[in-house]
């Protein structure tokens, strides 16, 4: 469909084209020096000691769980208001995802109080999700984790460039995982990054992401090794040079891109407050520095969300839903039924949440068109 205003758009230029072309001209396409440079630059941007590039954020979450020793019989607490990959990554290890509620309709992140209520003797870790690029209450979460001797995994898929108290999101817990999917603030089409300050975790991930091998093809090509051992049943979760080249250029765009997203969000808030005061915009009182990844709004109670989205579509405005709650999906209903923690806030938000377009190349005029369409769709 030819959208008047799409939900998201990529911000690519000649710099990305030249970087990818340079990799093609080099003749080396799989993980090598460009990926190593991307990892170093990403680690520096987050203040992390280690950054490891992988195929996607799901792989990063899976590797994080494995490196922390999560497995059959364990439980990991996470929000249901997230993309299903968060829960899937836990399930891949044989562990059980345990869903806990979010804070409130004004802050759509995991509730520390709900986390504490969900802890059992089987709990091994807490997986927070920095929804839309806004920070979870990390000091409270970390204190709970300390008291119960739990690991903390940060699903920072939305949070490239975001921070809390001057510390990058993704670096508060044991491991942080970022997404570079095609609609993310930093895109490599598909891709992800895992960051940690723990050298033991970093080494486990380094081994597991490449078939459990002790050296890479790049090491042998450069003459740094002539053979390898396989020390674990690993995975093919490596990032290639083409995506890494793209990522290095995209990383340079994050400060300006995120700042522009923030400007657009503030314009949305102002116009929606004037034109549609019945619309609720979460995260009004900002906690830390967001990446402003998406623009979630809550429709008035009782509004027909699907009819609203169809009306927006008819006016050429693309919208979405972040997210259908994971505990309502068929594959997780049975698991949730065995641990039925009440999730009233999650269920309410899921019924009302609609995501409006937001991307750095969006114009102020386009924001105005979207708000005009919102007014019309609610009449």
**Sequence-ordered list of residues with C-beta below 8 angstroms from that of 205, at least 6 positions apart, any chain:** 52, 63, 64, 67, 194, 196
E strand map for 9-59? 50-54
CB of 325 closer than 8 Å to CB of 343: yes
Neighbouring-strand partners of residue 289: 163
Q: How far apart are CA 188 and CA 343, in angstroms?
A: 34
Distance between CA atoms of residues 93 and 68, nearest Å: 11
Give the whole-angstrom CA distance, residue 56 versus residue 192. 4
Strand ranges in the chain using DSSP code E only, listed in sequence order: 50-54, 75-79, 96-100, 102-104, 107-110, 123-129, 151-155, 163-164, 167-168, 175-179, 192-196, 295-298, 353-356
Tokens matching residue 24: 């093609």
Tokens 């690519």 belong to 12
φ and ψ at 191, to 5 degrees?
Answer: 160, 165
- Furthest C-alpha separation in the chain: 70
Dist. CA 377–CA 295, nearest whole Å: 17
Picking from 352, 356, 276, 371, the residue whose alpha carbon sits closest to that of residue 105 is 352
Answer yes or no: 305 catalytic.
no
Choosing from 149, 184, 222, 313, which is the catalytic residue? 184
Catalytic residues: 184
């Amino acid at each position: 469909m030819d959208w008047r205003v799409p939900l998201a758009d990529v911000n690519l230029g000649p710099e990305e084209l030249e970087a990818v072309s340079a990799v093609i001209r080099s003749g080396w396409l799989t993980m090598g020096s460009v990926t190593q440079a991307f990892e170093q630059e990403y680690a520096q941007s987050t203040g992390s000691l280690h950054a490891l590039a992988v195929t996607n954020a799901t792989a990063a979450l899976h590797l994080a769980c494995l490196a922390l020793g999560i497995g059959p019989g364990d439980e990991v607490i996470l929000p249901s208001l997230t993309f299903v990959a968060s829960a899937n990554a836990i399930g891949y290890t044989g562990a059980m995802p345990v869903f806990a509620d979010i804070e409130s309709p004004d802050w759509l992140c995991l509730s520390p109080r709900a986390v504490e209520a969900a802890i059992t003797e089987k709990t091994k870790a807490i997986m927070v999700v920095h929804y839309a690029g806004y920070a979870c209450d990390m000091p409270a979460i970390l204190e709970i984790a300390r008291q119960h001797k739990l690991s903390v995994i940060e699903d920072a898929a939305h949070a490239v460039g975001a921070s809390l108290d001057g510390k990058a999101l993704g670096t508060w817990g044991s491991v942080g995982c970022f997404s570079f999917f095609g609609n993310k603030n930093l895109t490599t089409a598909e891709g992800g990054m895992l960051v940690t300050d723990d050298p033991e975790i970093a080494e486990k991930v380094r081994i597991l992401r490449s078939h459990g091998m002790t050296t890479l093809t790049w090491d042998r090509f450069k003459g740094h090794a002539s053979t390898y051992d396989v020390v674990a049943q690993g995975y093919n979760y490596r990032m290639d040079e083409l995506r890494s080249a793209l990522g290095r250029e995209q990383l340079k765009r994050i400060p300006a891109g995120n700042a522009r997203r923030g400007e657009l969000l503030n314009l949305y808030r102002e116009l929606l407050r004037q034109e549609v005061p019945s619309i609720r915009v979460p995260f009004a009182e900002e906690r830390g520095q967001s990446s402003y990844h998406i623009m979630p709004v809550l429709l008035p109670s009782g509004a027909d969300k699907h009819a609203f989205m169809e009306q927006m579509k008819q006016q050429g405005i693309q919208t979405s839903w972040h997210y259908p709650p994971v505990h309502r999906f068929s594959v997780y209903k049975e698991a949730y039924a065995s641990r039925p923690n009440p999730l009233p806030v999650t269920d309410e938000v899921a019924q009302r949440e609609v995501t409006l377009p937001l991307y750095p190349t969006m114009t102020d005029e386009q924001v105005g068109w979207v708000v005009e369409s919102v007014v019309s769709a609610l009449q």
